[in-house]
A = this chain, B = another copy of it.
Amino acid sequence: MTLPQPRIPHPESVPALRWGIMGAAGIAHAFVTGVNLHTRQTIVAVASRTPGKSEKFAQQYGIDSHDNYEDLLARDDIDVIYIPTLPSQHRDHALQAIAAGKHVLIEKPVTLDPDEAREIFAAARAAGVLAMEAMWTRYLPQYDIVRQVLAAGTLGDIDMVNVTFCQANLEIPRLWKKGHGDPLFDMGIYAVSFVQTFLGNPTSITAQGLLNADGIEEEVAVQMRYESGARAYMLVSGRAAIPLIGSVAGTQGTLSMGPQFPVPSQVSIAGTDFYAPVETWVDDTGVKGHEGLGLQATHMAGFIAEGLLESPFESHEDSIANLEVCAEIIRQIGAQIH
């Protein structure tokens, strides 16, 4: 078996769009760093309603600062808005940006509620702007290899997927506050999205969870079944750290992404025999860790130039379906995330 080389859009091959950031959240630092290092997109301005927060952020990156969203969205020199705020705020912020005629890149998860995501995507379509979930992993070079492997049918029929997303994040306050983005929606969404890439949407879900005293899930183990008979297994932990590995069993071959599958990492494929030779592609593009957040910006600029209203790598239905999977898991384990 051989692995294809990733097709990586050259930063210069897409228009240099002008970006605004709605909310000076922590993840926005990684986004700006990635954009500045690895794209030719321009970050123009940031806005925050928390006094002093946007000024500090803006000074750090040499961009403009606004103390309210209206001034940011009123600017004619901004094409796209990146929304890194809490998932519970995404609906309001996205609708506001869309109403101002801006394309929107919304940090994952799009929302904590599938219906709110539907509302955002419907509004974006009606306004003729591109709304995209910042599921950045799908825009990494390793994911283009996966898309090519799937298109070529190299793995045969996909029979099983197993994925772990387990980090020791008990000290990250955001994950343990109701409504802020619990471990399943905040971290597990990567695992859900990984599985969906190979198997689509499940026909059944069985979940067991370990809840903390507030009813927020510390760990979730999930089994999913598919119309084809395939199975997926997913382990998400917000307290225990193990390598983050996504593995895929096809009837003709096996694929594995890791040891930290959501960040620039490596992809291996092999035949199904125990001692089948393994071919491995290691990301040596120079994009390190969360700098990879920037790569989705180049892709998005290209999609906008093509006039697309949803990402070809993750449709609106994909984003919504993944939120529905999370919602069903939360329901089954009795977690109280709101």
In angstroms, how far is the closest chain B Cβ from the Cβ of A290?
Answer: 9
B242–A247 CB distance below 8 A: yes
Copies in the complex: 2
Q: Is the CB of A242 within 8 A of B237?
A: no
List chain B residues, Cβ under 8 A from A267. none
A249 and B241 contact, CB distance less than 8 A:
yes
Contact status A242-B254, CB under 8 Å:
yes
Inter-subunit contact A162/B160 (CB<8 Å): no
Given A206-B208, A233-B221, A254-B241, A160:B168 Cβ within 8 A: no
* Interface-facing stretch out of A12-20, A146-154, A271-279: A271-279
- Chain B CB within 10 A, most for which of A206, A221, A241, A259: A241
In the complex, A221→B233 CA distance in Å? 8
Residues of B within 8 A of A274 (CB): 167, 241, 260
Bitwise interface map of A from 255 to 279 toward B, beta carbon under 8 Å scored 1, else 0: 0100110000000101011110010
A166 contacts the other chain (CB 8 A): yes
Prevailing SS type, chain A contact patch: strand
A159 at the interface (CB under 8 A from B): yes
- A247–chain B nearest beta-carbon distance, Å: 4
CA distance A164 to B272 in the complex (A): 15
Chain B, Cβ-Cβ closest to A158 = B240
CB distance from A269 to the nearest CB of B (A): 11
Q: How far is the CA of A248 from the CA of B242 in the complex (A)?
A: 6
A219 touches B231 (CB 8 A): yes
A159 contacts across to B, CB distance below 8 A: 239-240
User: Is A233 within 8 A of B235, CB to CB?
Assistant: yes
A210 at interface, CB cutoff 8 A: yes
Q: Is A245 an interface residue (CB 8 A)?
A: yes
Contacts of A168 in B (CB 8 A): 249, 272-273
* Chain B residues in 8 Å Cβ range of A260: 274
Does A200 belong to the interface (CB within 8 Å)? no
The CA-CA distance from A278 to B289 in the complex, in Å, is: 14
A223 within 8 A of B: yes
Task: Give the residues from 134 to 172 in chain A that come closer than 8 angstroms, CB to CB, to chain B.
Answer: 159-160, 162, 164, 166-168
Is A275 in contact with B289, judged by CB distance below 8 angstroms?
A: yes
